[in-house]
Amino acid sequence: MLFSEKLKQFEVAHPCENITVDGAQYRYILSGRDTDRTLVFLNGGMNTLEMWMDYVDGLSGDYRVLLFDYPQELRTNQALVTGMHGFFQKLGIEAPVFIGASDGGMVAQIYVQKYPGEAGGLILISTGGMDANTLKSLKKKYCIAPLLLWYMKHCNYEKLKPKLIKAGMRHIRNESAEEIAYARDLFETIFKDYKQEKDVHISGLLADLMNQKPVTEADFAALAGKILLILPDQDFFSGTMQEDLIKLMHNPQISYVSGSHLSTVVKAEDYIRAIRAFLNQSMK
């Protein structure tokens, strides 16, 4: 089944809600068991909660699950995590277990640094650390980010969309023909109605990651034994970045998987199994 076909069923079963907290509007889905443990999913670089739809049915039978988009009113990562804190309080969520993919994994680290002792666990997928070494590498790699952001604001966005889809598909590595078709349908479906303002917003958040205070090992000491890293063998983040992430996390449990940066979506069942095993063993 293609992404677009799954999405139609998902939207019927899990309609989104909207709430405004401290002037920021959150589009979200809160689903699953009424339990004191909530799995909070943090989006990657397209900032669309639909990327996690397979995970809802895979995990909501045993846990409460929260998906949400980052509000456009929150323009920096510090504003975002502050807003998230108020949002969680509004929903009655305490000790969230963060599941963050790609840039969402970096947002999770910023949250833990800003609100020490408040996270219930960390599951970081296909991401890098917010440590000094990684931030230095990313700054060098994305030195033209301000110029790209200016272009994003002023371009003919509809004409840019095919190039963005092509750029997303460059993450494909050893996926099967079926998985490649699923990924292409995902990008085409999301970009069909994707707005320029939303892309400018998330691109600004990505650029702002380079301005953050680096995290250190001490920021994650309280979460020792409650951290899982799921690392693809052909990820966008280099092996060196993965090693630096591991060093930050106090002997985390690590699940290495075969795949690319898109595996979070196209091989969701593999990730759900790893998450379930970790939660059952380490988060009782």
Classify burial at 188, counting beta carbons within 10 Å of its beta carbon; exposed 0-12, middle 13-18, buried 19 or more: middle
Query: pLDDT tens, 217-235?
Result: 999 999 999 999 999 999 9
- For 95, the token pair is 């000790």
Q: Of all residues in the chain, what percent are helix, strand and coil, respectively (each to 5)?
A: 55, 20, 30
- pLDDT tens readout for residues 72-113: 999 999 999 999 999 999 999 999 999 999 999 999 999 999
Q: What is the mean pLDDT of residues 176-192?
A: 96
- Residue 156 to residue 245: CA distance in whole angstroms: 38
Tell me the pLDDT tens digit for each residue of 154-176. 999 999 999 999 999 999 998 99
pLDDT mean over 2-13: 97
User: Is the pLDDT reported for residue 36 higher than 90?
Assistant: no
- The domains of the chain, with CATH numbers, are 3-282 (3.40.50.1820)
Dist. CA 214–CA 220, nearest whole Å: 13
132 φ, ψ to 5°? Answer: -60, -40
User: What are the structure tokens assigned to 195, written together?
Assistant: 């707005």
pLDDT band at 284 (very low <50, low <70, confident <90, very high): low
For the chain, report the end-to-end CA distance as a whole number of angstroms.
34
Residue 62 confidence (pLDDT): 92
SS (H, E, C) 206-261: HHHHHHCCCCCHHHHHHHCCCEEEEEEEECCCCHHHHHHHHHHCCCCEEEEEEEEC
Separation of alpha carbons 228 and 282, rounded Å = 9
Residue 77: its pLDDT value, please?
Answer: 97
Task: Report the 10 Å Cβ neighbour count for 33.
Answer: 14
Find the mean pLDDT for residues 63-71.
97
User: Is pLDDT above 90 for 216?
Assistant: yes
Q: What is the pLDDT of residue 283?
A: 65
Kindly state the tokens that stand for 28.
């979200």
How does residue 144 score in pLDDT terms, banded at 50, 70 and 90?
confident
Mean pLDDT across 245-252: 93
Q: What percent of the chain has pLDDT over 70?
A: 99
Q: Kindly indicate the confidence band of residue 5, based on its pLDDT and cuts at 50, 70 and 90.
A: very high
- How many other β-carbons are positioned within 10 Å of the β-carbon of residue 159? 8
Q: What is the reported pTM?
A: 0.96
Tell me the helices (H) and strands (E) count for the chain, helix number first. Answer: 12, 8
Look at phi and psi of residue 146 and say left if phi exceeds 0, alpha if psi is from -120 to 50, else beta: alpha
Which residues are paired to 65 by β-bridges?
A: 31, 39
Residue 130 is predicted with a pLDDT of 95
